[in-house]
Structure 1
Amino acid sequence: MSTWTPLESNPEVLTKYIHKLGVSPAWAVTDVIGLDDELLACLPNPVKAIIFLFPISDAYEKHRAEEHERIKTGAEPQKHPEDLFYMRQFTHNACGTVALIHSVANNKDIEIVGGVLKTFLEKGAKMSPEERGEALEKDKEFTEDHQTLAQEGQTNAADFETVIHHFITFVNKENTLYELDGRKSYPISHGKTSDETFVRDAAKVCKEFMARDPDEVRFTVLAMTAAQD
């Protein structure tokens, strides 16, 4: 298993990254400054994905294990659209890139004008989630792009030998709210949503993550939105 330099939760850097990968300049990564309805309403529209950064804590790992067991045993059966693009994360510190891939791949109206991401999605269309994770790890061009942008944050990411934070993505796929976490074996359905309620519905799940770690404050919420002029 290879190790990448972690991405910083810096909207400017992440926006530059998606553009380098080939995403149209019409889209950007934006800070979500609060999860109250009034603050969520300030986000540029449309919002295509909510990206959540949180600490990998004992509470998260316990919840992840219990959730996995419920799905595996059929106690919490889930069916997903055939074209839901989901991939596992097998590369250390690649969670930021995986979250961005999940955000773009599951929104067909986000134009990809060429580049490494378009090629990766085309090759990965018929792959399993595990095969996609393995393909990312072996993709030299993707690795180079990630490493280049990871150096552009405000902190020296290379100083951190162990990263305890993790990026995941929430998207609206066929009016269902999906949590896409490359460390989980399955995409997680959080029930019905709509274009009108997606942001609030995703924010509600983010609040549930926070509630499981009431003494923790190191949470960051970002959004993939229309770029502002």
Structure 2
Amino acid sequence: MLTWTPLESNPEVLTKYIHKLGVSPAWSVTDVIGLEEDTLEWIPRPVKAFILLFPCSETYEKHRAEEHERVKEVQEQHPNDLFYMRQFTHNACGTVALIHSVANNKEVDIDSGVLKNFLEKTASLSPEERGKALESDKEFTADHQALAQEGQTNAADHETVIHHFIALVNKEGTLYELDGRKSFPIKHGQTSEETFVKDAAKVCKEFMARDPNEVRFTVLALTAAQN
């Protein structure tokens, strides 16, 4: 398995990364400083995705295994154009979460470049094939590695990383959790453009509630850039 240097949950670095990949400067990655209604109001609008970074604790892994069995039995249907991919490259979860955030929001313009090429090349592939395609994409690997070195933490310490990025998006009125380590997209009920921020915050709170003694959670959002 290919191992990348992990991305830091630094909005400036992640914003620079999506712009380098070809995302329009009209969009940026922003810190979500709190999940209560009054602090959620501070996030620039529109908000197209939430990105949650959390520790892969024993509690989380147990929940993930139980959830897998439950979803596998149901065999849920998803929109044909829901872009979902598996993560096979070690430490690529930040990039996968950003791809999920951008690819499932058609309003986010992508100029020609690494990301647009990847999305066009993988449009008709399965989630597993998309994950393999990312692993063999030399341009994507180079861009990721270059940006990962710009964080404030020592990139050489990345062997012990136990944190994981996932994306939350509104797809056709359903709140989806897109996690490359899971076999399926996870539905979290109905949402809308008006309620997405509050609904996504609720899902983040559920992650935190499962690990009440853990404080290492970070929430970011893909939003309109602030001028």
TM-score higher than 0.5: yes
Residues 8-47 of structure 1 mapped to structure 2, 5 A cutoff:
8-47=8-47
Does the Cα contact within 8 Å between 1:116 and 1:141 map onto a contact in 2?
yes
Aligned twin of 1:83:
81
Q: CA–CA distance in 1 between the matches of 2:97 and 2:30?
A: 14
Residue 106 of structure 1 pairs with residue 101 of structure 2: no
Q: CA–CA distance in 1 between the matches of 2:42 and 2:158?
A: 34
Deviation at 1:160, TM superposition (A): 2.5
Q: CA–CA distance in 2 between the matches of 1:34 and 1:57?
A: 22
Q: CA–CA distance in 2 between the matches of 1:124 and 1:99?
A: 16
Does the Cα contact within 8 Å between 1:33 and 1:39 map onto a contact in 2?
yes
Aligned twin of 2:145:
147
- Which one-letter code corresponds to 2:180 in the other structure? G
Aligned twin of 2:190:
192
Q: CA–CA distance in 2 between the matches of 1:195 and 1:220?
A: 23
Deviation at 1:157, TM superposition (A): 1.9
Aligned twin of 1:68:
68
Deviation at 1:72, TM superposition (A): 1.3
The Cα offsets for residues 109-154 of structure 1, whole Å up to 9 and x where unpaired, read as 1000111000000011100000000000000000000000000011
The Cα offsets for residues 3-39 of structure 1, whole Å up to 9 and x where unpaired, read as 0000000000000000000000000000000000111
Aligned twin of 1:221:
219
Residue 165 of structure 1 pairs with residue 167 of structure 2: no
TM-score (norm 1): 0.98
Deviation at 1:158, TM superposition (A): 2.0
TM-align CA RMSD: 0.6
Residue 174 of structure 1 pairs with residue 181 of structure 2: no
Deviation at 1:159, TM superposition (A): 1.7
Q: CA–CA distance in 2 between the matches of 1:49 and 1:124?
A: 21
Does the Cα contact within 8 Å between 1:35 and 1:203 map onto a contact in 2?
yes
Aligned twin of 1:49:
49
SS in 1 for 2:49: strand
Deviates more, 1:89-98 or 1:158-167: 158-167
How many residue pairs are counted as aligned between the two chains?
227
SS in 2 for 1:110: coil
Does the Cα contact within 8 Å between 1:8 and 1:157 map onto a contact in 2?
no
- Which one-letter code corresponds to 2:105 in the other structure? N
The Cα offsets for residues 21-64 of structure 1, whole Å up to 9 and x where unpaired, read as 00000000000000001111111000000000000001110010
TM-score (norm 2): 0.99
